[in-house]
Chains A and B, each alone.
Chain A
Amino acid sequence: MINSHDILETINMIDNENLDVRTITMGISLLDCIDSDAERACGKIYDKICRYAGQLVKTGEDISKDYGIPIINERISVTPIAMIAGACPGADPIRYAKALDRAAHTVGVNFIGGYSALVHKGFGPGDYALMRSIPQALSETELVCSSVNIGTTKSGINMDAVDRMGQIVLETAKATADRDCIGAAKLVVFCNAPEDNPFMAGAFHGPGEPDCVINVGVSGPGVVRAALAKAGDCDITAVADIVKKTAFKITRMGQLVAQEASRRLCVPFGIVDLSLAPTPAVGDSVAHILEEMGLERCGAHGTTACLALLNDAVKKGGVMASSHVGGLSGAFIPVTEDAGMIRAAREGALSLTKLEAMTAVCSVGLDMINIPGDTPAEIIAAIIADEAAIGMVNSKTTAVRVIPAIGKKAGEELSFGGLLGGGPIMEVNRYSPEKFIRRGGRIPAPMQSLKN
């Protein structure tokens, strides 16, 4: 017999602490859809996605009902489109974005990721055209997400791509200025992008992945916070243990859902992403976990240390609970998607510089941060370069998803609604990095020894 305490604990986690499976993401390879005729390639892409993912949403709903676990999103990631579009250099890549959007609407998922290019060492066929088309693609489609990988630990940072991406982020925000600049919220610039990430907006299906795969992203910051609150005044060793144990339970649930989805859809199970992904809902905040550890506000001195502990303990607890772990795995710190971060940013407790320090120990990077609309492109590029450098040197994934709030200034707010939330615009350092950014070239890959 299952212990009744365990049963009630699980139910309490779901009902009161926002425990959920954040996403079941189906990764689909489009390499067999490559065609020198763009129209034909788009037709193949649409057909393949609809064929493979036709039952994805229904299966997610069925599993949710059978196990009583909320499954919030079903999503699709595809092979970086630059690799597909490279076969027809004359064609406008926008048509691929539209084919993805159509397919996503048909199968009923709420996002499709993979309007992407991997340019960490240089531009291949299709890469440059795809990057140039991102602002238009994100403004003319609804469900497509885009990402560009501009650096890795093994190859260094492509500074020409960094320069371009600064401009593209700004142009994307301008192209969707009438919709609170939401385009920029669907664009991620990565260093060390994982090929199996199930979370948007940075999900794509890497070239080393199988034809089709199921990846699951778990969540549950509310559960971790509640467990810490229950423990009261324990020392920090005990805090780490509590986080580990809680992460174990959360991940086991994700593993079960992943295996079940894989079985029902007859698609191999890829990974469980052990992430604490916040939502704007009260009680679903990573910042509140840090505050529960003993900080008055997220952003206070001590935040980086607390986040480092949290991120590490989540991984330690989760790794044993799942047969395959991957993706971004760790604690996310998206400002506009986290009630505690929104409050801390509004009150001035949390600054962009503190967030940058936090990204050195969290799982992703500068995520969902609103910046003033008059921020020059080279400053955005320099923010990307700084963040990529942190990722490159520390052999971890980092990313930048900033939203230039066109026509607005620091202190005003943007509101995206839904999981993307909304929040205050944060000031950036206005001293110019223009000369550095305009130099172009590549930052060489870092030493992997003499670690100091």
Chain B
Amino acid sequence: MHAVITVIGKDMVGILARVSTICAENNVNVVEVTQSILHDLFAMIMMVDISKCSVPFSELSDRLSSLGDEMGLTIHTMHEDIFNSMHHI
């Protein structure tokens, strides 16, 4: 089961490190990472495997959101089904 973590905001040192630390702490494996610049903003997209996640998904999502608040970034953690259903027939 996969989830997508997106990080949008101003580029700075340690974004990838801190997001992946939270993943590692909760036994979430990072499957793929892409990053790009969107409207002058840093945008990172991580595909992660949450099937062995040690906490409920909503808790992981909360932890990442609060990291986002702390770093001044917008972090969304969403189940991959939402993208599959919206963009694929």
Mark A residues whose CB is within 8 Å of B. 1-4, 6-11, 14-15, 62, 65-69, 249, 252-253, 255-256
Contacts and interface: CB of A to CB of B under 8 A. Distances in A.
Contacts, number: 70
Interface in B16-63: 32, 34, 36, 38, 43, 45, 47, 57-58, 61-62
Contacts of A3: 87
B32 A1 contact: yes
B83 A8 contact: no
A343 to B, nearest CB: 28
B82 A68 contact: yes
A264 to B, nearest CB: 13
Contacts of B62: 65
B73 interface: no
Given A1-B47, A68-B77, A7 B58 contact: no
A10 B80 CA distance: 12
Nearest to B83: A2
A69 B82 contact: yes
Contact of B45 (A4, A14, A62, A255): A4
Contact of A10 (B32, B36, B77, B83): B83
Contact of B58 (A9, A15, A66, A253): A66
Contact of B76 (A2, A9, A11, A253): A11
Given A2-B4, A253-B82, 11 more contacts: A1-B32, A4-B36, A6-B87, A7-B83, A10-B82, A10-B83, A11-B76, A62-B58, A67-B79, A253-B86, A256-B85
Contact of B81 (A4, A65, A256): A256
B6 A11 contact: yes
A8 B58 contact: no
Nearest to A251: B86
Given A1-B47, A4-B36, A62-B58, A67 B87 contact: no
B85 A68 contact: no
A8 B79 contact: no
A62 B61 CA distance: 11
A247 B61 CA distance: 28
Given A7-B45, A8-B38, A62-B58, A2 B87 contact: yes
Given A2-B80, A8-B38, A66 B57 contact: yes
A219 to B, nearest CB: 15
Contacts of A62: 58
Given A4-B34, A11-B6, A11-B8, A65 B85 contact: no
A11 B76 CA distance: 8
Given A65-B57, A67-B78, A253 B32 contact: no
A408 B32 CA distance: 62
Contacts of B61: 65-66, 68
A44 B32 CA distance: 53
B65 to A, nearest CB: 10
A58 to B, nearest CB: 11
Which 5 residue pairs across A and B have the least CB separation, nearest first?
A: A68-B78, A6-B87, A65-B58, A256-B85, A2-B83
B6 A253 contact: no
Contacts of A6: 83, 86-87
A416 B8 CA distance: 36
Contacts of B38: 8
A252 B85 contact: yes
Contacts of B80: 2
A68 B58 contact: no
> Most B CB atoms within 10 A — which of A1, A4, A252?
A4
Contacts of B74: 15
20 contacts: A2-B80, A2-B84, A4-B34, A6-B83, A6-B86, A6-B87, A7-B45, A8-B43, A8-B45, A9-B87, A11-B6, A11-B8, A62-B58, A65-B58, A67-B81, A68-B76, A68-B78, A69-B82, A249-B86, A252-B85
A129 to B, nearest CB: 46
Contacts of A7: 4, 6, 45, 83
Contacts of B43: 4, 8
Nearest to A15: B74
B3 to A, nearest CB: 9
Nearest to B80: A2
Nearest to A13: B86
Contacts of A255: 85
A66 B79 contact: yes
Scoring B45, B57, B77, B80 by chain A CB atoms within 10 A of each residue's CB, the highest score goes to: B45
A258 to B, nearest CB: 11
A62 B59 CA distance: 11
A255 B81 CA distance: 11
A183 B1 CA distance: 47
A11 B6 CA distance: 9
Contacts of A253: 82, 85-86
Contacts of B85: 252-253, 255-256
